[in-house]
Structure 1
Amino acid sequence: MSLFIDLHAIQSVPPSNINRDEDGSPKSTTFGGTRRARVSSQAWKRAMRNDFADHLDDSELGVRTLRMVDQIAARITTLDAAIDGDAAQQRATEVLTATGIKVEKVKPRKNDENQDEYSKTGALLFLSNPQIDALAELAVTTVGKIDRKAAKAVLSKGNSIDLALFGRMIADAPDHNVDAAAQVAHALGTHAVVPEFDYFTAVDDKQSDDNAGAGMIGTVEFNTATLYRYATVNVSVLEKNLGDPEAVARGVEAFVRAFITSMPTGKRNTFANKTLPSFVLVTVRTDQPINFAGAFEEAVDPKQGLTTVSIKELLGEATRTYTAFDAAPAASYAVTSRAVDGLDEVAATLSLRDLVTTLGDETRARLGAS
C-alpha cells in the first residue's frame, strides 16, 4: 500500500532576500497572472539537510561534494596511520573509480600558490557516511587491485536518511542512482509582490572630523512575502531506500521537523528574517500526494490580512478537493499559532513536538517497526 505524508505551510517573511537569482535579486515567478515571491526547492532542501545534523547521528547522514576522494582518503588514514597522505589519495581514487564513478585531477590555476592539485568527481557526489567508511575499509583491506564487484556492492546498501530522502543521481554510474523519497516544491508567494530596494550607508569609524560623507554606500534588493510551502514524503520509497522501518520513522520525524523549522540563510545577517510558519497542515495519504498551490492562483488581497486569508484559502482548497475528488486523507494534523475557524473539522491540532512524535509512531505502526 502506498503511503504519503503531505506538508503544507503558510509562512510570512519580513523584508528579506533569502534566495537570490543571478543578479542578486530575490527569486520570483509569475503565477495567476501576477508576480510572486519564490524560494527555490533547492535552497530550502539545503536548509533542511543542515537541520538534520541537530537531530540525527553522523551515521545517519551523508556528504555531498566534488572532493569525495579527500573524504575517503581521510578515513583511510584514520584506519591505517601507516598510509601517508599521497598513498591514501591514490588508494581513495582507485576504490572510487572501481565503483564506476569517474575521477579527474584538477591542477592549480596559474599564479595561485595557495591551491594544490586535487582530485574531483565530474559532478557533486552524494554518499552516506557508512558508504564512505566502507569504501575506505575496502581500500585498506584489499591487497592489490580493488575488486569492482566489491566496490559497487558498497554503494548498493547503507544509504543515509538524507540520501534516502533527497536521492542521488550519478550520470557516470546510473546503477548507483537512488530515487528521492521526498519532493519539495518551490515556496510561492500567496499575493502579488513588488521588488523594493534598500539604500544603505556605512560610516567609517576613523574618518576625520571634517568628513561628513559615508565610507560606503550601496543598495540591496528585497521583498516581503507570505509564502505557501509544500513538500511530500513517499514513505514506501523511503522504506525501499533504507530497508529499516525504524530508520524510516526517524527519517519522517527529521523531515517533518526540518521542513517546519528550517529556513535558507541568504542575507540573514542583513535582515534578521528568521520566522516560523503561522500554520502547518500535515496529511497522511494512501492514494497520492496533492499540492494545494491552486488555492493562490488568484492573489490574496493584502488589505484583508495576508496570513489569515492565506490560511483560509488553503483550508478551503483542501476541503473542495477532498469533496470533488473523494480525496479525503487518512489522517490530518495541524500546528498553528493563529485561531482558525472550523479547523477542528479538518485536522487535529497538535504542538510541533507532538506532531513529530505522532507521525513517527504512525509510520512505525504502519510499517510494523518494533
Structure 2
Amino acid sequence: MTAPRFLQIHTLTSYAAALLNRDDSGLAKRLPYGGALRTRISSQCLKRHWRLAEDPHALARIDGAEAAFRSRELVSLKVIKPLRDAGIDGAVVDALEPEFQMALYGDKGTAKKSRQTLIFGETELRWLASEAARLADEAGGDAKAAKSLAEAWRKGLNKSLKAMTAAATLPGGLTSALFGRMVTSDPEANITAPVHVAHAFTVHEEEAESDYFTAVDDLSGDEPGADTIQETELTSGLFYGYVVVDIPGLIGNLGGDADLAGRVLHNLIYLIAEVSPGAKLGSTAPYGRAGMVLLEAGDRQPRSLAEAFRTPCPPHLGPAAQALSTQLEAFDRCYETGEERHALCLANAPIPGAAPASLRHLAEWAGGLPARLAAGRAA
C-alpha cells in the first residue's frame, strides 16, 4: 500500500438554536453556495477552539508539545516585563524595549495599534528574554549604552534568530507547527501550515430566527414589565466540515518526529469530532458531536466533498451522509485515486470503501499514519 501523504477529514455535525460564529454586526456568519445562503463557521473559529480546548485530548497535553502565545504584546509581557520584575534600571529597560518591539513587529512596532498579532513559541520567547537580560547586563546601568547595544542586536537579529530556530524542535510552539504563522518583519520566521481547515457550512439553506428576550429587575418591587429588552440571532444547522493534513509537512514542522506527529493526529481527530465552537455558552449550550466522521489517506491531491451539498439537501444526517457517499462514488469512478478510508456514521449510512468504526479506532488509525510514512520512506 502506498505510504499516505495526505489525511482528509470530513465531518457532519448538527447544532440547534445556537450562535456559533458571529460577524462584525453580531449576526451569524453566512456563505452563499449553490444559489442558497448557508450558515458558516469560519476556519479561524474552528482552529481556535481546537487549539485552546480544555479536554482529555487537548493539544497541550501531548508530551513534547511546546506552548505558544498569540498577541500584540509578546515583547511587553514576555520579554520586557521580566526585566522590570527583576528590578533592572527602568531607563535601561526603556532603552531596550523599542528595539525589541521593532525586531518582532517591524519598524512601526513601537506603537501597539500598528503591530500585527503574532504567534511565537515558548522557546523563542525564552531566548528573546535571555537576550534582553544579556544586553541589560552589558549596558551596566547606562541607558545610552543599552540603546546602542540593542540597536546593533536588532540589525543582526536575522542570523541569530535563524540559528536559534534551527536548533529548536518546535520554535513556534505546537500551534505554529500545525496551523502555521506569518511574520512580516522576518520571512525567515514564517512557518507553512500543514493543517488546512475549510470554513464549515450548512448542507441546507440557513435556518435562523431573531430571538427576542427580556431581563427582569429582581429589585424593582411591584413594577411590571422588563428592565431590559434585546434581540439576538439563533441558528440551527447540519454543518459539513473539511480538514486536510499534509503529513510530511507536519512531521517536518515537528522536527522530523513521526511519533510526535502521530500523537498530534490522534488527538486532533478527537478534537475535530468532539469540540464545539460557539459563543453564548450560558444561554444556548452549543455542544455537539459529529454525526459522521470520514477519514481518507492517500498520496494524491486532496479534494473536498462540498460539491455534494451545492444543491441544498434535507437538514438531516441520513440524507446528508447519502449525498456525501454519492459524491464520493462519483469521484472514485472517475478518478480512481484509491484512498484508504475509515468512517463512523450515526445514521448507519454506508460509506464507499469504509467499514464502520468507532472514534477511538479512527484516532488510533490516523495516529499510525506518520509512522507508516516514515517506514515507507526508510524502505
Q: TM-score, normalised by structure 2?
A: 0.83
Q: Is the 8 A contact 2:195 2:244 kept in 1?
A: yes
Which residue of the partner structure matches residue 114 of structure 1? none
Name the amino acid aligned to 1:335: L
- Structure 1 or 2: larger helix share? 2
CA displacement 1:142-201 (0-9 Å, x = unmatched): 544435221343345423221011111122222221111111111111011243111111
Residue among 350, 353, 358 paired with 1:351: 358
| Ranges in structure 2 where 5+ consecutive residues have no aligned partner | 139-148
Residue among 74, 77, 80 paired with 1:68: 74
CA displacement 1:294-352 (0-9 Å, x = unmatched): 000111134xxx111111111221121112111220x2111333322x34x52133322
Name the amino acid aligned to 1:185: A
CA displacement 1:66-95 (0-9 Å, x = unmatched): 1011243268459x9454677557546545
Q: d(CA) in 2 for partners of 1:71 and 1:285?
A: 44
Which residue of the partner structure matches residue 137 of structure 1? 130
CA displacement 1:80-129 (0-9 Å, x = unmatched): 945467755754654564468446334xxxxxxxxxxxx57720111111
Which residue of the partner structure matches residue 307 of structure 1? 317
Q: d(CA) in 2 for partners of 1:75 and 1:319?
A: 58
Which residue of the partner structure matches residue 289 of structure 1? 302
> What is the correspondence of 1:82-93 to structure 2 with a 5 Å cutoff?
83=88, 91=96
Name the amino acid aligned to 1:313: A
Which residue of the partner structure matches residue 56 of structure 1? 62
Q: d(CA) in 2 for partners of 1:350 and 1:83?
A: 59
Q: Percent identity?
A: 27
Residue among 284, 289, 292 paired with 1:276: 289
Which residue of the partner structure matches residue 113 of structure 1? none
SS in 2 for 1:348: coil
Judged with a 3 Å threshold, the aligned counterparts in structure 2 of structure 1 residues 53 and 242 are, in CA distance, closer, same or farther, namely closer
Question: Do residues 164 (structure 1) and 177 (structure 2) align?
Answer: yes
Which residue of the partner structure matches residue 371 of structure 2? 364
SS in 1 for 2:300: coil
Q: Is the 8 A contact 1:292 1:314 kept in 2?
A: yes
Which residue of the partner structure matches residue 204 of structure 2? 191
User: How far 1:62 sits from its partner (Å)?
Assistant: 1.1
Question: Do residues 227 (structure 1) and 239 (structure 2) align?
Answer: yes
Judged with a 3 Å threshold, the aligned counterparts in structure 2 of structure 1 residues 358 and 33 are, in CA distance, closer, same or farther, namely same
Q: d(CA) in 2 for partners of 1:86 and 1:354?
A: 59
Residue among 107, 110, 114 paired with 1:105: 110
Which residue of the partner structure matches residue 18 of structure 2? 16
| Number of aligned positions between the proteins | 350
Q: Is the 8 A contact 1:129 1:160 kept in 2?
A: yes
CA displacement 1:261-284 (0-9 Å, x = unmatched): 222231222211210111100111
| Ranges in structure 1 where 5+ consecutive residues have no aligned partner | 107-118
Q: d(CA) in 2 for partners of 1:84 and 1:349?
A: 65
Q: Is the 8 A contact 1:97 1:103 kept in 2?
A: yes
Q: d(CA) in 1 for partners of 2:26 and 2:20?
A: 10
SS in 2 for 1:367: helix
Q: Is the 8 A contact 2:162 2:188 kept in 1?
A: no
Q: d(CA) in 1 for partners of 2:330 and 2:164?
A: 48
Q: d(CA) in 2 for partners of 1:185 and 1:85?
A: 47
Q: d(CA) in 1 for partners of 2:232 and 2:40?
A: 17
Q: CA RMSD in A?
A: 2.8
Judged with a 3 Å threshold, the aligned counterparts in structure 2 of structure 1 residues 214 and 96 are, in CA distance, closer, same or farther, namely closer
> What is the correspondence of 1:29-40 to structure 2 with a 5 Å cutoff?
29-40=31-42
Which residue of the partner structure matches residue 161 of structure 2? 151
User: How far 1:32 sits from its partner (Å)?
Assistant: 0.9
User: How far 1:245 sits from its partner (Å)?
Assistant: 2.0
Q: TM-score, normalised by structure 1?
A: 0.85
Which residue of the partner structure matches residue 175 of structure 1? 188
Name the amino acid aligned to 1:337: L
Q: d(CA) in 1 for partners of 2:90 and 2:260?
A: 35
Question: Do residues 260 (structure 1) and 278 (structure 2) align?
Answer: no
Name the amino acid aligned to 1:127: F
Which residue of the partner structure matches residue 236 of structure 1? 248
